[in-house]
Amino acid sequence: MHIVIMGCGRVGSTLAHILEDRGHSVAIIDQNPEAFRRLRGGFRGRRVTGIGFDRAVLEEAGIERASAFVAVSSGDNSNIISARVARETFGVENVVARIYDPRRAEVYQRLGIPTVATVRWTADQILRRLLPNGALPLWRDPTGEVMLAELGVDASWVGTKVTAFEEEVGTRVAFLSRLGEAIVPDSETVIQDGDVVHVMARSDDMERLNAAAARRPEGER
């Protein structure tokens, strides 16, 4: 399929190479022609110089036959405007915009434009490495009120049924990561050594859940 990318920075150029390697045709837009130097010498896609929300520029990039549009320039406003033009003017259904301000990301999600809030995502990834035993978010809904998170659990929970864990801690376990595989627990699933517990919960409840999971189960000595 044909994919149009706005922004030939590190992210845009990397996406262009990956997509081309996977057999897709790619057109990449940037206001600065020097930005195209980030593309490898053998890049076969179209390079279009101009503003990513300009109709003529988008048409030159092949937006009318595009199956997807990605806006990853350095400006939030440019990204969201170009994403809306691609969707609302040219009817491209699969549109994604990079947004630095997570507050804006939530607003645009409600408008039906999927966004990647890079600052929040980067901070979360760093926290996952700095605080490996904490409750760290992997996904948030557009309102920011519900999230999927890794939950740090005390080693004494090993051997406990997931259903008992859920009842005592007060949360719903979405899945376990075990030896590189995801397991959806049933009524007989037991937490094993090395399991990573993933829960779905309200964001404002995560501090309580993390504290509860870090304690030894009731009855432990």
Q: In degrees to the nearest 10, what's the CA dihedral of 35, 39, 43, 45? A: -40
- Residue 127 burial class via C-beta count within 10 angstroms: exposed 0-12, middle 13-18, buried 19 and up: middle
* pLDDT at site 183: 93
Q: Helix 162-169 and helix 206-214: axis angle, to 10°?
A: 120
3-class secondary-structure state, position 167: helix
Cα–Cα dist 107/113, whole Å:
9
pLDDT of residue 61: 97
Report the pLDDT value the prediction gives residue 221, as an integer from 0 to 100.
36
pLDDT at residue 188, as a whole number: 95
pLDDT attached to residue 86? 94
Distance CA 170, CA 156 (A): 17
Q: Specify the fold of 134-214.
A: Alpha-Beta Plaits (3.30.70)
How far is Cα 178 from Cα 181, in angstroms, rounded to an integer?
Answer: 5
Q: Which residues does 114 contact at the CB level (< 8 Å), separation at least 6?
A: 95, 96, 97
Domain boundaries, the chain: 2-121, 134-214
SS3 label, residue 97: strand
In the predicted model, residues of the chain with pLDDT beneath 70 are 106-107, 109-110, 119-137, 142-144, 219-221
Both tokens of residue 101?
């301000």
Determine phi and psi for 141, rounding to 5 degrees. Answer: -75, 165
Phi, psi angles (nearest 5°) of residue 176: -115, 145
Cα(200)–Cα(149) distance, integer angstroms: 7
CATH of domain 2-121: 3.40.50.720
C-alpha to C-alpha distance for 151 and 213, rounded to whole angstroms: 7
* Furthest CA-CA distance within the chain: 72
Whether 38 contacts 9, CB under 8 Å: yes
Look at residue 127 in the predicted model and tell me its pLDDT.
Answer: 58
- Answer yes or no: are the C-beta atoms of 102 and 120 closer than 8 Å: yes
